[in-house]
Structure formats: C-alpha cells, structure tokens
Structure 1
Amino acid sequence: MISVNQAKDILKATVSAGEIKHLPLSKTLDLIAAEDIFSHIEVPSFDNSAMDGYAITWEDNLDTWEITDVIAAGNGNRHQLQYGKAGRIFTGAPLPKGSDTVIPQEFVHREGNLIRIIDKGKFQKGSNVRFKGAQTKIGEVILKKGSQITPGTIGLLASVGISEVPVFSPPKVAIIITGNELQELGNPLVFGQIYNSNGPVLMAYLQQIGIKSIFSFQAKDEPIALQKTIDEALEHADVVLLSGGISVGDYDYVKKGLENAGVKELFYRIKQRPGKPLFAGKKGKQLVFALPGNPASVITCFNQYVKPSLLQWMGHEATWKPSLLLPLANPIKSKAGLTFFLKAKIDKDEVHILPGQESFNLIAFGTADCFAEVTEETEELQVGDLISVYRW
C-alpha cells in the first residue's frame, strides 16, 4: 500500500500527452494547443477607421476641410485625399491615402461639404486610426503551446485566417460497471438491488472535462463474462475505468481479469479514505483505473487520480495541484497514517466539512463543491487552519 503522494507521482511520471491532431477551428473549443501558433498575416491588414466620422490629414494650421469622398467598410476602392480634403468614413473602412486621422462625427460641425472640428484640442495626428499590424505582425506567436482554446481564442485565430489547429486529442474512454446487485435507472428495484449511480456520475465527469468518445459496458460478477468485457473495452479505448470488484472479496474478479488482459500494475491500494482499494495499471500507452464500488469512493478516486491523468493526457499543465488553500470553518480530528478526502463546501472564503462522510453516502454531494484533504500525518485541525481544497 502506498501513499497518496506516491500514487500521484507514479501517474504524473507515467501519463504522456495524447496524439496531436489538426482539427477544424470549430472543433477545438476547450482543447489544448499542441504547438505554438503563428500569425500568417498582419491584423489589421490595412489602416482603418475606429469610428464613424471623417478622415483627414492632420494639420495644426487648418480649421476647415472639404468633403470629397465617402468610404464604407468593405469598399475595395483605394481612395486618396488631397491636402485640405476630408472623406466621410465608417468604422472598419480603409483609411484613404493621404489621410492619417479620423475625427468622430459627434465632434464635427458640418455645413454642406465643409467640416470644422469641435474642440480640436481633444485630438492629434493618428487619433481613431487602427494602424496596419497593430494587433498582430506576420510570424508573431499568437497562441503558445499548452494554451486552452476558449471562445476568445477561436476569435483570435479566426481573425488571422487560421482554420485548422494542432491540438492534443482527448482519449477514448471505456467505462465498465460491475456488480450483480446493480439495476439500471427506470427499472424497479427488487430486494437486494441498488441503482447504478457510478455509471452516470463517471459519464458526467468525463463529459465535463471534454471527453466525447465514451464507451459504456456492464459486467456481472462472473470471471468469464468480466474477462470478455475487459478485453473488449481495451480494444476500443485508450483509457478504461472500472467500478467495483477490485477489493479482496470472493466475487472480486477485476484484478485477475486485468492481469489476464496484459495490464501491468502501477499500484494497488492507497493509504487513503475513502477509496483505499484503487488499482492503476498500464498496457502499452493505455491506462486502466479500477475504482472501488462505493459511490463516494468512485467520485473521490476519479477527482484525485483519473481526472488529473486525463487532463495531463489532453495537454493541460499543473493538473495535480490543489485548487486552493482555505481556512477551515469547523475543527477536524483525524487518524494519522491515512489521507482523508472529505466532502466539503466553500462559503465566504472558508471550507465547511459536511456531514455524511461514509463511502456509501452521497447525500453531501447535493451541496458539496470540493474535497478537503487531510494529510496522513495530521491528527487534528482547528478552525482557521489552512487546508488543501480540490474543486470540481
């Protein structure tokens, strides 16, 4: 049995970034750039007006200008202004040759084709002009490797004409839910059965972090059927998650089934609560996590080990660090030698430990928004002591 930190160090050293794929820009939201991305053009690609107003050549000694042109956005004609002349111009329209300044229309007094600037001291040469290359120069890095692609990022990349982006491809994930006692939602329970909650919660967590290719399996606690399911999942997925059947009971066949499938053990059993009988393994580049069957253990182990591994696979950085250090709102007494992950809620910059910490008990998840980590050397914490918090 190993410590929490040892288990995380093993996974951190084992998981490598996923395959790099060039995807259409519209398909890259929330993914991670796998390479530095450079601009192929200057933006703006021409000097243009930042306002609806009048384009002029700035001269300190001029008081009036004559309007000779009208320039609209998208107008492909190359206008040119002579000295003392002005062009009626609209936002985004190319600045005509011979001009260098735009005066907003609300600061212009117009009589016929003549204009005069109101409060000329507010302006100077270059006012209200977006100059060529002001945003981006050709060859400039506009997105660094490791950056997450947001809607704003997509706008930036589109503005320089990039239609395809190299990203770390999310893994394909298979979920295997084991247990003879499980019943699917929508069906009535018979005596001795419980509803399958682990399948839906794992599916939701995977979707939340951007995993779209998910295979779902169910397996009875029977060695041959379970082995067939494990083998099939490994054929389809990069990462396989199992729930249940990983302890040492008479009907726990998962560990043997993984060995038969050629999965090499990375670790088995962690000095933590909940979720002590956690198995992590590898087959080639494939990852396998066998989680305990208790629902709170599944959620704990997913958030502490599976989620950081998947995010690291997808190119995210610092996936293993706590979200926050916050003061406790209530005291804790603990058992040294085990790390405890407690269901908790953040309120007013404090972390509140919730009732219902048993591994079978999901009621606290109705309000919880994080886990609070009590380290294995800790026996007691007081109100106001800082504690590591993992948000989900």
Structure 2
Amino acid sequence: MSLLPVADAQARLLALAEPLPEEQAPLAEAVGRWAARDIAALRDQPGFDLSAMDGYAIRYAERPGPWTIVGESAAGAGFDRPLSSHEAIRIFTGAPMPEGADSVLVQEEATREGDQLRMAGEGPRKEGGNVRPRAVDFAAGTILVPTGAAITARHVGLAAIGGHGTLPVRRRARIALISTGDELVPPGAPLSGAQLPASNAAMLATLLAGRPAEVLDRGIVRDDLDAISEAFRAAASEADVIVTTGGVSVGDRDLVRPALERAGATLDFWRVAMRPGKPLLAGTLGGAIILGLPGNPVSSYVTARLFLLPLIARLGGASDPLPPSRLLPLGVDLPANGPRQDYLRARIEDGRAYAPDGQDSAAMVALAAADGLIVRPAHAPAARAGDSVEMLILD
C-alpha cells in the first residue's frame, strides 16, 4: 500500500464523518463549539432610540433654546409622554429617547437654571446628534452567527444581546482512547525492566480538554489479538471515535490492523506520507470511526493535531475543520525535504521561526518547547533564512 499524501488522508478521514445531532447548549457551554445552524437576532439592537451621552433630550430645530425641563429618562426607565414644543428632559447614557425629541444636548454644552435650559456651546452637530438609533447595531432577523462558525465569547455576547439564552450546536463527540503495548504502565506507576509510562492517553485527553468532546479512557490493552479486538468491539458500542495509540506499524507486535479486521472493521487507509506520523490508519467499526495513531509520543501528538482535532470539528459541524496556519520568515536555513511532508517542531523568536535539532519522533523536549510546527511539503527545495514558511501554531 503506497503512502497517502496528508491532504488526501485528511479529506478521506473527514469524509467518514457527518455532523452529530443538534442540541441546544446554554450560552456558557457553547464556546468552543460550532453553530449547528444560522443564529439570527430575535430583537433589534438597540430596541429603541437611546441617548449616547449624558445630557438633555431636545428637538434639534429648537436650538439654542430655551427649553423647559419637564422630567428625566434613565437607562431602563423612560419618560412617560411625548415632549411638547420647547420642552426637554434630563437624559442619561443608554436611556430611551422620548417621543418629540431627536437629539441630545450634552451636559457640558448646556446651561441650566432651575427648570430652564439653554445651549451654552455648539450643541449637537446635526439632527440625531448623540443618539443611537433603533437597530443601528442589528435588526431582528440579522444573522449573528452563521452555520458552521466557531462560537467564541464574543459570539456569546452578541447572541445574548440578540435575545438568545441557548444556542444550537452539535452533540459532543464521544472519544474512546485505547493504549496498546505490553511495555506500558499508567503514568506515575513504578517501572521495572523495559517498561515505559503510558503518556499518550494523558496527552490526548488534555489536548481535547476545552473542545466539544467527551473522553472515554479505556486504559492499556496488552499486545494480544483477542484482547485488542474485544476492546475495539466494546468501544464501538459507546463511542463516536475510537483512537488507538501504538501498534499500527509493521512489526510482529503491531496488532491494531489485524485486530480491527478480526473485530469486523473496514480499513479506509493506512500509512501517510508525513514525518512524524507515517503509520497512521483510519477506518470504521459499526457506527464508530477508527483513528490509529503512532505510539511515539511526538508522532501521536502531531497526528492528533492534524487528524483527530479536525475530525472532532467535522463531527461538531465546523464549516472549516482543518487547522489554520500562518506564514512566518525562517530564522535559519533548512535543507531540501524528502518524499514525505515534514512537520518540524519550532520556536518563534523575534517574529521568525526556528527549528532546533532533536526532531526525533520520540523526543518530547523539543515538542514541549515548541510554539508551532513548520510544514515542509514533500520534495521542498532548500530554504534560506528569511524565506516564508507555513507554520501551524500550537496552543
């Protein structure tokens, strides 16, 4: 089986998924998810003409006065009758404009003696001066958040002022994590012989924190074909996505592919033209999507960023599930690249990208210190310091 280009592998994985069912989420729980449909304003904003300043509500044509002050209007409590000729009211920022007034004379440009008011400065520059008209921000029916948009705190504020208390989003994806390998023990457990701490599941679970996913950690499964197959069948009954780490390469102890076949899974692709992360696989088992990540922790992390997070975004209804990138100038020269797309752990210093040595797929120090991943396309020519490179920024 030939190596699949990264873009093709991403497209094939996302084609396996459809957005999950819609639900209504409270505003505080909608951030980090995607709008399941257009979210339209339920009201005008503002809902009435209101004062943009502290001052006096007047009729512009009656400048420079005098006016008789007959009451006041504060935010949340307007004046209860229309103004007659040469009447004014004291008004505060955010308060409703009374009928019969069209402008606000700011208090710094007003002279008041008892209930008599005159203009002492230039006054409002035009009719409607210092007034925010009804619906100047948006009108009822305006689309505030389009379908598939990532919902931010700013969108929550916008939707709330638009009259919404809940927002339409997709159900959170259920992600089952399965670690394979006789050599693995839980993090923090005593080690003996050639044992290793199982770092991938903890890393992936925290990578998914704050994203619309429910993590189901199914622990460590020993290198046994029947045990791995049974773990897959059990996970498929409760998860939308089954993520494995380790066991996807070509060694005698790499049992994930044969275990999937035994469990009745359909393999869509295996092995991707990328470094790190070549032994990546994807398929389906029942209603669950299978994503097999490499066991080396750097490979596991990079492939999760490029495949697992976009898959969750697709299930969540994102209009553009792939990770964004930006162009940055290189701080150092880079050699020509080989036949696989390379993802180099890199630091950003003074606005430039630096890829340090130590890019081995099991070396975590450079990953922990990285600000992003420099993307080097397959067969890219040598690059010089100052050349622009694509970079995926890590959070």
Q: TM-score band (shorter)?
A: over 0.9
Query: In structure 2, how many angstroms separate the alpha carbons of the residues matched to 1:116 and 1:77?
Result: 20
- Aligned twin of 1:310: 312
Q: Which consecutive unaligned segments of at least 5 residues does structure 1 have? A: none
Question: Which residue of 106, 122, 128 corresponds with 1:126?
Answer: 128
CA distance in 1, matches of 2:324, 2:143: 30
Instruction: Tell me which residue corresponds to 2:343.
Output: 341
Offset, 1:60: 4.7
Shift of residue 143, structure 1, vs aligned partner: 2.2
Spell out the pairing of 1:1-392 with structure 2 (5 A cutoff).
1-2=2-3, 3-75=5-77, 78-208=80-210, 210-218=211-219, 219-283=221-285, 285-320=287-322, 323-334=325-336, 336-378=338-380, 380-392=382-394
Contact 1:62/1:84, CA 8 A, preserved across alignment: no
What is the deviation of 1:61? 4.9
Distance 1:377 1:211 in 2: 36
RMSD: 2.1
3-state DSSP of counterpart to 2:157: helix
- Give how far 1:374 is off: 2.0
Partner amino acid for 1:316?
A
Shift of 1:138: 2.6
CA contact (8 A) 2:296 2:361 kept: yes
1:174 partner SS: strand
Dislocated runs of 4+, deviation >6 Å: none
In 2, Cα distance between the equivalents of 1:340 and 1:72? 62
- Does structure 1 conserve the Cα–Cα contact (< 8 Å) formed by 2:336 and 2:381? yes
Shift of 1:122: 4.8
- Residues 48 and 322 of structure 1: CA distance in aligned 2, closer, same or farther (over 3 Å): closer
Structure 1 residue 358: Cα displacement: 0.8
Distance in structure 1 (CA, Å) of the matches to 2:167 and 2:324? 30
C-alpha change, 1:355 and 1:244, in structure 2 (3 Å) is: same
Identical positions, percent: 33
Q: Deviations over 1:58-107 (max 9, x none)?
A: 22554321111122222266232221111111222221221111122222
Q: TM-score, normalized by length of structure 2?
A: 0.92
Q: Secondary structure at the match of 1:259?
A: helix
- Normalising by structure 1, we get a TM-score of 0.93
Aligned residues between the structures: 391
- 1:115-163 deviations in Å (ceiling 9; x for gaps): 2222125533211222222222232222222222222211221112122
Query: Bigger shift: 355-364 or 333-342?
Result: 333-342
Give the Cα separation in 2 of the matches to 1:172 and 1:58. 61
* 3-state secondary structure, aligned to 1:213: strand
The answer (yes or no) to whether the contact 1:197–1:295 under 8 Å persists in 2 is yes
1:244 partner letter:
G
1:297 Cα deviation (Å)? 0.9
CA distance in 2, matches of 1:143, 1:237: 29
* Contact in 1 for aligned 2:63/2:119 (Cα 8 Å): no
Q: Helix, strand or coil: the match of 2:60? A: coil
SS in 1 for 2:179: strand
Give yes or no for contact 2:103–2:128 (8 Å, CA) kept in 1. yes
Distance change in 2, residues 1:320/1:148 (3 Å): closer
Q: Which amino acid aligns with 1:369?
A: D
Contact 1:107-1:118 at 8 Å conserved across structures: yes
